[in-house]
Structure 1
Amino acid sequence: MKHRKLLVLNLLIAAGILFATQSCTNAQKQNHENESSMNAEKSVVESDVSVNKAVCVLHPTEGNDVHGIVTFTRSGSDIKIVFHGEGFTPGKHGFHIHQYGDCSASDGTSSGGHFNPENTKHGSASDDERHVGDFGNVEADEDGTIHFEMTDSMISFSGKHSIIGRGIIVHAGEDDLTSQPTGAAGARVACGVIGIAE
């Protein structure tokens, strides 16, 4: 009986030591995983900061025959936007960054609404209150060619205002810059996704 009690006591002690060891191992593993996760996030942030250029190739939505390319280049604390397009109807066309980098819908609606992380009203690119994605209008000449340049201080390559991975839409009509929430610019004639460029 005495031996049996001693055996049970030894088993309980061994189990306690094993449990304590396992707890320490799990804690170390969790700390390592947390550290790895933090390092990964830090790496992503650092890589975002190093982005100096982005590009978007525009493709026509169904029933349209337009194309273009938009580049975004860091210029000090701002970003310079250059858009060259062809095949557009002469006149002004609404030009915006949209929430999603998804052009899978034939009419471009899968790109969602204007990129608006601050939940503000729609406006022109020069307004104090506007969507981050509001760039106003681009204008096609009589040959259907668009060449547009502007510099913007609101968009970014990282953080809450990052445009990387979002969509660009060019509309059939003119953005009136006041109608909410889109400027009444009509159908979406071109769609593209913004990606990091070299």
Structure 2
Amino acid sequence: MKKLIALPLGLMLLMAFSCKQAKKEAEETSEEMEQTVEEVKEKIKVETIKFQMEPKSDSNVKGEVTFTEENGAVTMMASFSGLTPGEHAIHIHEKADCSSADGKSTGGHWNPTFQPHGKWGDEGGYHKGDIGNFEADADGNGTIEFSTDQWCIGCDDETKNIVGKAVIVHQGVDDFTSQPSGAAGARISCTGIIQ
């Protein structure tokens, strides 16, 4: 009789232990999944900032610039109106200060790695702000899209962080060789990248 009572009691104890163990394992798995989800969210975090461009140097050039950071890369999309038809240079400058009428309050090109001016990706060097040229059509409208993993929005790496900088559109074309700025001419539109 004692064996018969002990058997169900043992089974009950074994089941209780198994349930507790299963619950503990489920909780640990749940915590691991939550941590993995947070890590994935951090990796695919999307951040977007958008700014209006304002005319400078007696121009009528207006526009909008959007920066989106996703999966470790920043994409700049910009559209403009009021340009003269043809090519225009666009750069990131070192200060988010568009207060002067000629846009020179933004300082020089953003160049945190102290490289010579050049075309983006050139082995001879280039500024982190050396975006390049884009085309305006016969109606004075132009767009540009540019993407790089060498920028970030608000990160701690000052050689990548674009916050606190300015976007400048120039009247002329960047020749990619003249130092320090590519002889692109007057600054005709400006926006500060302030988050």
Whether the TM-score (by the shorter chain) exceeds 0.5 is yes
2:166 — aligned with what?
A: 167
Structure 1 counterpart of 2:187: 188
Q: How far did 1:95 drift?
A: 0.3
Q: Which amino acid aligns with 1:124?
A: K
Could you report, residue by residue, the CA deviation over 1:27-72 in whole angstroms, capped at 9, with x for unpaired residues? xxxxxxxxxxxxxxxxxxxxxxx77122232100141111011111
Aligned to 1:176: 175
Letter in 2 for 1:173: G
Match of 1:36 in 2: none
Partner of residue 117, structure 1: 112
1:105 aligns with 2:100: yes
Separation in 1, partners of 2:174, 2:54: 20
* Residue pair 1:73, 1:79 contacting (<8 A) in 2 also: yes
Match of residue 146, structure 2, among 133, 150, 153: 150
In structure 2, how many angstroms separate the alpha carbons of the residues matched to 1:124 and 1:75?
24
Change in CA separation of 1:62 and 1:178 when aligned onto 2, cut-off 3 Å? closer
What's the TM-score, normalizing by structure 2? 0.72
Paired with 1:143 and 1:80, the residues of 2 have a C-alpha distance of: 26
Report what 2:36 is aligned to: none
Please say if residues 114 and 134 of structure 1, whose CA atoms lie closer than 8 Å, have aligned partners that are also in contact. yes
Q: What is the correspondence of 1:33-112 to structure 2 with a 5 Å cutoff? A: 52-112=47-107
Contact 1:52 1:73 in 2 (8 A): yes
Q: CA separation in 1, counterparts of 2:77 and 2:46?
A: 17
Equivalents in 1 of 2:57, 2:146: separation in Å?
28
Maintained 8 Å contact 2:57/2:187: no
Pairwise CA distance, 1:143: 0.8
- Equivalent residue number for residue 127 of structure 1: 122
Q: Deviations over 1:61-111 (max 9, x none)?
A: 141111011111113121111011101011111100000000111100000
CA distance in 1 between counterparts of 2:87 and 2:121 reads: 17
Where in structure 2 are there 5+ consecutive unaligned residues? 1-44
CA distance in 1, matches of 2:70, 2:121: 18
Whether the 8 Å CA contact 2:55–2:190 is kept in 1: the answer is: yes
Please report the TM-score for the alignment, with normalisation by the length of structure 1: 0.71
What's the CA shift for 1:195?
3.1
Give the CA RMSD over aligned residues: 1.6
Letter of the 1:138 partner, please give it. F
- 1:114-147: CA deviations, max 9, x gaps? 0001110111123242101110112101111011
Query: 8 Å contact 1:101–1:166 — kept in the other structure?
Result: yes
Is residue 58–residue 68 contact of structure 1 (8 Å, CA) maintained in 2? Answer: yes
